[in-house]
Every structure is written in structure tokens, then in C-alpha cells.
Amino acid sequence: MTSLPLLPDAEFHLDSQPNARPRLIGIARLAAAGESLRDGHNVEYFTLGTRSLLSRVDFERKIFVKQHAAALLRSELKKVKPGEQISIGTATDPYQPAERRFEITRAILEELALHSGLEIGIVTKSNLVLRDAPILRSIAERNSIFVNLTVTTVDIELARKLEPRAPRPDLRLDAVRQLNLAGVNAGVGCAPVLPEITDHPRDLEALVKAASEAGAKYVFANPLFLKPCSAAVFLPFVEEHFPALVDLYRARYADRAFLPKGYGQRLSQLMARLRQKYGIGGVYDRRSQRAHAGANPEQQLGLF
């Protein structure tokens, strides 16, 4: 799978000598030379010079803007092999507020619209994607493309707590409706599913029902996984907002990033029953649609 990390965070390595200054490498070295574009809401934006856009798939306070993205993409699309998918939004949301000003995602979509035979997936939490509906439809005429709106709950108050910077869930579901009406395949991804917070059957049923009513082509759910770097941020959030659950989370993720296999199986079974009840497709239905469009049916769109 090939992804487009449009606005990635930086990283650095330290020299081995004590008291050494950080030795910046890779993206961090480029980011250090970036020009500050603006700041607001405790978020800073920096330019990021780069010679490459596509990267193999192996936060939030400092965001680096890859410049000249469309021009880079034009040359690098030659590297994409038949059967490979291009995923937009796996590194960070391509429709975060900065996109209104920088229009990097829009420029990339305009370039993709000039090509054919590509398999493209977009993941976002923002209804700003509707701005680009005409371009997305143009892409869909000669390529396989799916837009996946992430909706973790239809409870507006809970959503404000979990995703304070994202549009309301009803706005995201309306974006699903409008995209499908515009001829762009769109569905709902419930990810991550949070144990004891968003995984109650009645809550997941409300979500699947809402997705069906919005005309979503599919809905799927993935349970929360926590790598150590993510747990360092997420667990204090749980302690602050859901103190009664913090011990449960610490125990469940103490020595693992993923929940036990049985949890995922129960979630999959519940979602299958709910999809059948409300007449909506699942993640594997997208594979069959892509096969009808001439794509390789053995390749599944990698999203998360």
C-alpha cells in the first residue's frame, strides 16, 4: 500500500555523547528549516521542503506542510504498481482546518483526476471533503475511489469530548449522503471503537442505523489499539474524562497494543448482525465493488 502523508509530524535522534544537541535527520532536518506560516488554537504550521511525496506505510501541536505536493505526485505516480492502493489520510487527516488555507489535498486530487486506473482511498473526520465533491466525481470516472468518513459515535456530547476539533457526527454523516448523491462512493468507519465508551451494542446500533439512513455504501468498525507512544497521550485523557475506566484500560493495554482476539471477533459479529438488520454493506463489499470496476479483487483497501 502507498500512502500520502500530507502533513506529517517530525522526529529526531540524539547523538550518543552526553549533553549533545539533537542530531536532526530525515523529515526533522527539513522541518527545522521550515518557515512558520501562522499559528492559532495552540497549533503551529510550518512549511516543509521535500523531494518525495509517496511513502510506504510501515500530533497535533506542530504540523508541517509539504509544499509543491501536486508536482511531486505527478512524477511519483509512475512508481505505483497495478494492484497497489493510494491511501490519503493514514498519517493525518487531509481535511483538517489548515486545508481551507493551503489546499494541498485539493491540489493532489486535481492531479489524480488527470490519471486513470488508480485505486484510491480517503479517510477523514471532516465534512470539508464536500468542497471537493466535483473533483472526486471526476476521479471516480476513470479510477476506483472510496471516501471513508470516520464516525465513532452519534452522541454529539460524547463526540465533543472524544474529538473536540472534528465536525459534529451528524455533519459527517450528511457528508456521506451528499458524496453518494454526487456519485462518489462513501461509507462510514467507526474507528477506533473504545471499550466501555463507544462499544455498547445500543450505541453501535445507533451508528449503523444512522449510516444506513445517510445512504452509506458500507460501515465497518475497528477496535482501539494503543502503541506505547499513543498510550502516553490517551491514558491521561481517560483518567481525566473517564476516571472510572482508567484502571481497566491500564490493565487491558499493560503489555499489548491490541485487545484480545475474542474482543475483535465479538465486535465483528455484532457489526455483521447490525449491517444485515439495516441493509448496509461492510468492508468486504467494497472489495467486490472494486472488482466490478476492474481492480484486483484480492487486494483490500488499507485504511488503518
The CATH number given to whatever domain includes residue 99 is 3.80.30.30
pLDDT above 60 (res 279):
yes
Question: Does 38 fall in a domain?
Answer: no
Percent of the chain scoring above 70 in pLDDT: 71
Residue 299 pLDDT level (bands cut at 50, 70, 90): very low
Q: What is the mean predicted confidence (pLDDT) over 278-290? A: 65
Q: Other C-beta atoms within 10 Å of 272: how many? A: 11
In a domain, 89, yes or no: yes
Show the domain range for 191.
68-224+259-292
Domain contains 123: yes
Predicted pLDDT of residue 50: 58
For residue 35, give every residue at least 6 positions away whose Cβ sits within 8 Å of its Cβ, in sequence order, or none. Answer: 46, 47
Residue 105 lies in a domain: yes
The pLDDT score that the predictor gives to residue 14 is 33
Widest pairwise Cα distance in the chain: 62
- The pLDDT, as a whole number, for residue 72 is 82
Count of domains in the chain? 1
- 116 within a domain of the structure (yes/no): yes
- For residue 244, is pLDDT > 80? yes
Tell me what the mean pLDDT of segment 212-222 comes to.
96
Say what the pTM is.
0.75
User: Alpha-carbon distance 91 to 97, whole Å?
Assistant: 16
- Which pLDDT score, from 0 to 100, does residue 62 have? 53
Residue type, 227: K
Quote the mean pLDDT of the chain: 80
> Residue with C-alpha cell 485487545?
259
pLDDT, one tens digit per residue, over 59-114 is 445 555 566 777 788 888 888 888 888 999 987 899 998 899 989 999 999 999 99
Q: Which of 7, 302, 3, 289 is nearest to 140 (CA)?
A: 289
Task: Return the higher-pLDDT residue of 7 and 124.
Answer: 124
Per-residue pLDDT averaged across 161-183, rounded? 96
Q: Please check whether residue 24 lies inside any domain of the structure.
A: no
Residue 56 has a pLDDT of 54
Position 250 in a domain: no
pLDDT score of 42 more than 50: yes
Here the cell at position 98 is 489548515
Q: How confident is the model at residue 43 (pLDDT cuts 50, 70, 90)?
A: low
Q: Is residue 246 part of a domain?
A: no
Dump pLDDT digits (tens) for 257-269: 999 999 999 999 9
